[in-house]
Amino acid sequence: MISLFQDTIQQLKEVASEEKTLSIYKLIVSGGLGGQIIIGILFVLLIVAFYIYFERFFAIKAASKEDKNFMNQIKEYVSNGKLEAANDLCKSKNTPIARLIAKGISRIGKPLEDINTAIETAGKLEIYQLEKNVSVLATISGAAPMIGFLGTVIGMIIAIHEIANAGGQIDIKLLSDGLYTAMNTTVAGLIVGIIAYVTFNHLVVRTNKVVYQMEAKSVEFLDLLNEPA
């Protein structure tokens, strides 16, 4: 009796040991060709998502840098009629806010409504540049889980096909490829989708911050032009 109990414990230890050695690579390989193709597509989408995120993150971070003394200098130059110096200052900053102010300075002398329209148009172009390729992250966040679910469907079809070929007798070993494909691709799709969704929303928040800064400085510049001489 004791010997049987010890043998059972030994078998459980061996099973546990086998489960611990199951790596991610083995899971992917065990999923069959269909699963490997789906995982490969999801991996490419993950690389694209990370590339877009970091590229946009640093671009937006650079655009959000704000010189606290910038508008004071612009006000001084414009008040003294030094428009060329104000324009040179804007060019030296090379930020969305500076480009908007430069657009407004280039329209000084025209009606205030024309200046406002020019700044708004320039602002839309700046926002477009800030949001460049960000929509791809939103697409990946929605497409990745669906691609993963496609792998799930493929895996279940493989499993049913194996059952049919086995004459209706269920054998776990025969079903393993289909089940691995179904589970692995679902998990991978959800992981890629979650990462893309989080990074997309983070970039949206960062972009909105820059947009608010642009709007505030544009209003401040228009108020400057509207002040009585």
Ordered per-residue pLDDT tens for the chain, 229 residues: 555 445 544 544 454 444 444 455 555 555 556 677 888 899 999 999 999 999 999 999 888 887 788 888 888 888 888 888 888 888 888 888 888 888 888 888 888 888 888 888 888 898 898 888 899 999 999 999 999 888 878 777 766 766 677 665 666 665 665 666 677 788 889 999 999 999 999 999 999 999 998 888 888 888 887 765 5
Query: Residue 88 and residue 84: Cα distance in Å, rounded?
Result: 6
Query: Residue 190 and residue 38: Cα distance in Å, rounded?
Result: 13
What single letter denotes the amino acid at residue 214?
M
What pLDDT sits at residue 71? 86
Query: Residue 14 and residue 10: Cα distance in Å, rounded?
Result: 6
What single letter denotes the amino acid at residue 168?
G
Tell me the pTM: 0.75
Given the structure tokens 């669906």, which residue do they identify?
146
Q: How many CA atoms lie within 13 A of 216 on its CB side?
A: 9
Query: Residue 140 and residue 225: Cα distance in Å, rounded?
Result: 45
What pLDDT sits at residue 3? 54
Length of the chain, in residues: 229
What pLDDT sits at residue 50? 95
